[in-house]
Amino acid sequence: MYSVELKQVDKSYDKEQLVVKDVSVTIEPGEFFVLVGPSGCGKSTLLRMIAGLEDITSGSLLIDGKKADHLPPSKRQLSMVFQNYALYPHMTVEDNITFGLDVKKMRKKEKKEKCYEIAAMLGLTDYLKSKPRHLSGGQRQRVALARAIITNSPICLMDEPLSNLDAKLRAHMRSEIRELQRKLGITLIYVTHDQVEAMTMGDRIMVLNEGVIQQVGKPIDVYNTPANPFVAKFIGSPPMNLTSGLIDKNSSKITINNEISIPVDHLVVNDVNSDQVLVGIRPENIKIQEEPSSLDLSFVVTIDHVEILGTETLLKFKWNDDSVWYAKWYGQWDIHVGQTLRLTLDPDSLCIYDGQTEKLLQGPKNIQHQHVREGII
């Protein structure tokens, strides 16, 4: 198991535009680390720099504590799974899997034994004499995985390997790759634009946007306490609801839509640059107002769209200058489009951001209690 460390890494294809900007992060030995962000944010470029397929414009790359910027890909002790699998169509599955062992001058018998061991692990034993064109998408993906892990490289890089699969197979392969990584104990760096993959697979995730790190942390921490509005909107399905508010520094209260007044800590008042703030809340923390409360954070909306997904119900509505909001509740709710509801915000579940700098001023207060109650901690 090797660590990977990036120190102030930049990447530029011309002198004017940086596609990766000042990236510094340490990936621990044996960690499943996910790079996530929208298309074009620089995550694949960053992965290719680690692999040695792209030059680093400035900064340093350390593998197992040793400088690796100057090393060719073959000397970096890593394997890679590409988005298009890159299988050789004229070779059998067995030859594709063992292709990386040819340069190691391994004996034929030993090579065959290793191939059969990996094939059994990934359910490919019956397909070893087949050509890639005879395999399904999931089977080809397994062949690419087998080729990567048979070399016993301590680091494995994966560039959106599941993007070509259907939804059901993607869900199955997510758990398969995660289990395989745990079993082999390798350091795995995984690139995806799918926040569900990032949340379900990674020990830690790094959210990128326009080549800049937005947040690094455990998936649940990034979900519960997003560092800025971009992360709040990108992580979570449906995304966090965000709306503008005005802060009164004298009364230490935030007013939303002239109908909701939220008391805030004096530290928030001291940190905010102006009277503009953004208030965010996850859809599952919006409830129906069933009885009056001492702190009234309720508001009336008309439901625009309803989705009953079996285990949960998703509502869509507009509020505060026609901002689109979502509420998500467990179970099947008999609610119709056009129905009027009085909803309320959970005051302990709010995220408050500076309207100018977009810095997080206050995160949810009830996270620790939720984790204890649900048995997570």
Q: What pTM does this model have?
A: 0.89
| pLDDT tier, 325 (very low <50, low <70, confident <90, very high otherwise) | very high
236: its two tokens: 């979570």
| pLDDT tens per residue, range 225-256 | 999 999 999 999 899 999 999 998 888 899 99
Overall domain count for the chain: 2
Q: Helix, strand, or coil here: 50?
A: helix
Identify whether 232 is part of a domain.
Answer: no
| pLDDT tens per residue, range 16-61 | 788 999 999 999 999 999 999 999 999 999 999 999 999 999 999 9
Distance (Å) of CA 192 to CA 39, 47, 370: 9, 11, 29
Does 319 lie in the same domain as 208?
Answer: no
Does 196 lie in the same domain as 273?
Answer: no
Does 364 lie in the same domain as 310?
Answer: yes
Does 79 lie in the same domain as 113?
Answer: yes
End-to-end Cα separation, the chain, in angstroms: 27
Does 259 lie in the same domain as 219?
Answer: no
125: its two tokens: 């034993």
Does 200 lie in the same domain as 113?
Answer: yes
Does 9 lie in the same domain as 72?
Answer: yes
Which residue, 205, 367, 219, is CA-closest to 285?
367
Mean pLDDT of 83-110: 85
Domain boundary (190, 224, 258) is at 224
In 10 A of CB 361, how many CB atoms? 22
Which domain, by its residues, includes 269? 238-374
Does 261 lie in the same domain as 178?
Answer: no
